[in-house]
Structure 1
Amino acid sequence: MSGTPRALIVYESMFGNTWKVAEAIGDGLRTVIDTDLVRVDRAPAEIAPDVRLLVVGGPTHAFSMSRPSTRADAVNRGDVVMPADTGIREWLGALPDRTTATISATFDTRITRIRRLPGSAARSAAKLLRRRDFRAMVPPATFFVDDTTGPIEEHELARAQQWGVDLGRELRPVLGPIRRRMRRSA
């Protein structure tokens, strides 16, 4: 792996809505920095030294990050897009303390009709990252879906992309000039 700074987005998504948000955030971040997007069950056990920004996102289940029981409930509700055995809670719990200059940002999805309920997967993830010595770059963000299984509205995806652009802008002073790799098409 090269030493070129990059961002890593790790997401959990049961019905595909949080995945769509993660992709939109990645689209925004890529305007500034090379960005990889990875589903939590395929996420690395350690954060590589060239990852300067770690973005973690998942759905809010029972006022926090999902648990095995809430993921099993999601499987019983219908068509899930990822295995239910690993979530961001377990991945973050196994992540070693930060050893490089990685900063973090977190996001979650939740149902529109329960906007004011307490608890948030993003806030819980931010707490776990703080315990691992990751410095939060911005407050946790929430994106809304219409119901448990979605859909997510286009304006929320546009807001997620803009959040990614804004993250990139916030990151520039931390990183200094970034020389982006040229991607060649075949």
Structure 2
Amino acid sequence: MNAQPSAAATAEPLLLDAALPEFRFSRLACRPVVTPPSTRVPGLLETEPGGYAGFDEPGWAKMAAAFFVHAYGVRRSLLTYEARATRTDPVSTARFGRYSTLVWPGVGVVLRGAADDRSGLRGRRTTPMRRCVEMRAVIVYESLFGNTREVADAIGEGVKEAHPDAEVECVAVVDALPERIGPTDLLVVGGPTHMRGMTTGMSRKMGLKAEEKEAEREERAFTPEEGAEGPGVRDWFHDTLPKAHTGTHAAAAFDTRADMRLAGAAAGGIARRLRSHGYELVAEPEGFVIENTEGPLREGERERARAWGASLQVA
């Protein structure tokens, strides 16, 4: 969350239910209610907005409350809760004052618990809401035998090293759904090089089959990555990654490849597709060398990947 709201924060706030209906947020306090003052748990009487202002039956307190979503800087939102209360007569004012004294200190605890429950965070340690996240980086990778995953992990370590307050996540391409990626300040995408470019369904099948036969011949374990059959990065660009929205969308591309003159490079194709999806490249496409089809990485490549990740800068 930014330290200071941008000019966009002055935009008309949105009701949470209208802004994000797919999340099925609770309708708690989204409609005006009136409640009888009591030191016991109050009863609730819902009323439509048109009848709220004119409700004046003695012995009641009226409260209207809502959640709002505000624009808050670049690709960030601020969730606020607002409530207004009034009483219908002097007796209600005195009684409701005593009730508020008893109940109000626990309202914050209840709201935080409800928010945690709705977001699936109950029972987990959560980051305080006041913490400012400098940036969010996501590294999406395709990996058949673990080499590209290892490079992706090293790149993530480098980004974290350069930006200690950043939120950094490495995601296998088979798990990289739009809701998992979310808004990012930096998107890094990488995969193995097959036939001078990105993998295809056929190249993955052929590569896996060849390595399985080689493993049988050498009497060793055959351990491809989970999801190695696909879909791969090529499919992900075509079927899953949405076009970038307006704003700053930094990106970078990498691959793993063999050290031979005609090996080619998948990173160039990945970079072109990032551009076509509206992303701005902040570095030239980079390749990291593996010793043979199943690896390992060449000595020093993991360290170079970490340094490359640290060099990626977001304006």
Q: TM-score, normalised by structure 2?
A: 0.51
Name 1:180's counterpart in structure 2.
Answer: none
In the alignment, structure 1 residue 48 sits paired with structure 2 residue 182: yes
Instruction: Give how far 1:14 is off.
Output: 0.2
In 2, the alpha carbon distance for the partners of 1:154 and 1:119 equals 21
In the alignment, structure 1 residue 73 sits paired with structure 2 residue 169: no
Query: SS at 1:54's partner residue?
Result: strand
Which structure carries more relative contact order (alpha carbon 8 Å, separation 6+)?
A: 1
Query: SS at 1:109's partner residue?
Result: strand
Query: SS at 2:270's partner residue?
Result: helix
In 1, the alpha carbon distance for the partners of 2:284 and 2:185 equals 17
In 2, the alpha carbon distance for the partners of 1:85 and 1:165 equals 29
1:34 to 154, 160, 167: 167
Instruction: Give how far 1:82 is off.
Output: 2.7
The aligned amino acid for 1:129 is: L
Q: Is the 8 A contact 1:26 1:35 kept in 2?
A: yes
In 1, the alpha carbon distance for the partners of 2:176 and 2:284 equals 23
Instruction: Give how far 1:154 is off.
Output: 3.7
Matches within 5 A, 1:29-178: 29-31=159-161, 32=163, 33-45=166-178, 47-49=181-183, 51-76=184-209, 77-78=211-212, 79-83=223-227, 84-94=229-239, 95-99=241-245, 100-112=247-259, 114=260, 116-117=261-262, 119-167=264-312, 170-171=313-314, 174=315
In 2, the alpha carbon distance for the partners of 1:17 and 1:129 equals 22
Long gaps (5+) in structure 2: 3-75, 77-132, 213-222
1:21 to 151, 164, 167: 151
In 2, the alpha carbon distance for the partners of 1:6 and 1:56 equals 14
Query: SS at 2:178's partner residue?
Result: coil
Query: SS at 2:225's partner residue?
Result: coil
Query: SS at 1:110's partner residue?
Result: strand
Q: Is the 8 A contact 1:56 1:105 kept in 2?
A: yes
Instruction: Give how far 1:118 is off.
Output: 6.1
Q: What is the aligned length?
A: 167
Query: SS at 1:98's partner residue?
Result: coil
Instruction: Give how far 1:142 is off.
Output: 0.3
In 2, the alpha carbon distance for the partners of 1:101 and 1:91 equals 22
In 1, the alpha carbon distance for the partners of 2:232 and 2:199 equals 7
Q: TM-score, normalised by structure 1?
A: 0.84
Instruction: Give how far 1:129 is off.
Output: 1.0
Q: Indicate the structure (1 or 2) with the bigger Cα radius of gyration.
A: 2
In 2, the alpha carbon distance for the partners of 1:82 and 1:90 equals 17
In 1, the alpha carbon distance for the partners of 2:270 and 2:193 equals 11
RMSD between aligned alpha carbons? 1.8
Which whole-Å deviations, capped at 9, do the CAs of 1:45-92 have from their partners, x for residues lacking one?
36422x110000000001110000011112211331132121000111
The aligned amino acid for 1:42 is: D
1:12 to 142, 152, 161: 142
The aligned amino acid for 1:109 is: T
